[in-house]
Amino acid sequence: MISRRKLLRQLAATAGAALGSPLFPNNGYAASRVSGGGPKRVIFFLQNQGFDPKTCIPAGLTSSGSLAKAKLPEPIEALEPFKERLHIINGLHGLHTSPSHSAFFGALGGYRGSDGVPPSGPTIDYELSKVLPETLLPHLCLGMDSMENMKAKPTVANLSASGAGQPIFMHSNPNHLYQMLYGGISQGDIRKQHEARSSMFDRIEQLAAANGKGLPMADQQRYGQYVDGFHDINGLRERLNGVSDHLRKFAPKVDGRYTKPEFETDWHDVLLDLGVSALKSGITSVLTIGSGRGEIFGAWKGIGVEEQGHNLGHMKQPDNPIWIKIRQYNSRMLVKLMEELESVPEGSGTMMDNTLIVYTSNNADAQHTSGATWPVMLLGNCNGIFKTGCFTQLDGKRPINALYATILKSVGVDCNRYNMSEKMAAKFDSGSGPLREVLV
């Protein structure tokens, strides 16, 4: 477990130093870097219902080339000022993930995924959280959905996993997440709710640990996972309280969007604010955002879209006013992520210089797809490792696993294949190792 002293030193090396008032002035910046160079933080943003390549590839671009003279399509036009940091990739596939309404855990795991199918291994976001410099909360997952779903099911696990049969939950209620991250430094009702929930979790952990001892061995193991979960929650709360003075600088202001949201997008926006604050404060180095929570659900009434859920997946995305609005909303979120990280000095540059953003869908190009093409947009270059300002057209013979192996390579992990056996690769991968086409 990460110690309070170690945590404080690492916070000082990242966000503390970036603010110009490090907690430990003599601590070296190198402590926050990955051995061999590479990004210190990675963000995954997955929109449900697919990502049609025609909504992101500039007109007239049919082969790999520069974006400098190209005009970005209307759905992603908000990224036009950031073209030099953008890399659009087309021609990866996810045939082996068997996507339909969603590839679920398979989208980030690179393996077969379907409704009700548990993860068969760790997903790329979790793997990165293990190899990037240790943080208090190695991996934060946010799930954006309709207001009804976010209230009724504040946590859902559909996208990320720490191993076979071990899903990671997404936070969908920003009030609960704020209490977890910043309840210890809050006042009034938020502080009271935080303390009440902390006492409840402490008591549940004690009861669970005591009551599980009389179960058969097989049930004890399963029961123990629940006990460990509460233990982790309680330990996290204690460690967050231990660095409260540092966190106070980054806590977002709570306003009516938290407690009295008019639309679901109010909660989407403040969830993004919380994710940004977790990155800037150094609480986490890996952020996963699931718009639609990896399912067929989701709603965007706040941007003038009345259609929601499953029906959206049966609409063609190119030139569709509804999907243009949704993708433009996503693009504005991407811009906010970049601008927020760009505003924080880090080393000889900014936090954005050390960040990679991966934007795609949990369902390849469309709902009810074979997964034959899986478009991806990258933002940022991982300290000069990835090409930017360009479009890359691949031949459709390499899987999304190859991109994930490439990202692992960029953070110093030698990975020829990610979650793919040689037998599977013989059928679904024409090469091995990283995607040379996207590297500098």
Question: pLDDT tens digits, residue range 47-74?
Answer: 999 999 999 999 999 999 999 999 999 9
End-to-end CA separation in angstroms for the chain:
36
Rounded Cα distance, 157 and 170, in Å: 6
Residue 257: exposed, middle, or buried by beta-carbon count in 10 A (0-12, 13-18, 19+)?
A: middle
**387 pLDDT tier (thresholds 50, 70, 90):** very high
The answer on 430 and 379 residing in a single domain is yes
Where are the extended beta strands (E) located within 353-424?
355-361, 376-379, 390-399
Which of 326, 339, 184, 338 is closest to 268 using CA atoms? Answer: 326
C-alpha span between 256 and 310 (Å, rounded): 30
Check whether 12 has a pLDDT greater than 70: no
Residues 26 and 53 in one domain: no
Residues 42 and 27 in one domain: no
| Largest distance between two CA atoms of the chain | 69
Distance CA 259, CA 270 (A): 11
Asked if 170 and 307 sit in the same domain, the reply is yes
Mean pLDDT of 369-384: 94
How far, CA to CA in Å, does 156 sit from each of 108, 119, 142, 261, 347?
Answer: 16, 14, 10, 21, 37
Residues 148 and 227 in one domain: no
The CATH number linked to 150 is 3.40.720
Tell me, yes or no, whether 381 and 289 share the same domain.
yes
Going by the DSSP 8-state scheme, the letter that residue 16 receives in this structure is I
Q: Which positions ≥6 away from 166 have C-beta within 8 Å?
A: 119, 122
Answer with the residue of higher pLDDT: 35 or 416.
416
Do 354 and 376 fall within a single domain?
yes
CB–CB of 174/258 below 8 Å?
Answer: yes
Is residue 142 pLDDT above 70, yes or no? yes
pLDDT recorded at residue 33: 42
User: What's the average model confidence in pLDDT over 18-25?
Assistant: 31
Please say whether the beta carbons of 344 and 280 come within 8 A: yes
Portion of the chain with pLDDT greater than 70, in percent = 79
End residue of a domain, out of 243, 271, 288: 243
Residue 131 has pLDDT above 70, yes or no: yes
Clarify whether residues 312 and 355 are in a common domain. Answer: yes
Expressed as residue numbers, the domain containing 20 is 1-31
Asked if 21 and 147 sit in the same domain, the reply is: no
pTM of the shown model: 0.86
Tell me, yes or no, whether 218 and 265 share the same domain: no
Q: What is the mean pLDDT of residues 90-102?
A: 95
Instruction: Kindly tell me if the per-residue pLDDT of 13 is higher than 70.
Output: no
- C-alpha distances out from residue 367 to 102, 105, 374, Å: 7, 16, 12
The verdict on 109 and 224 lying in the same domain is no
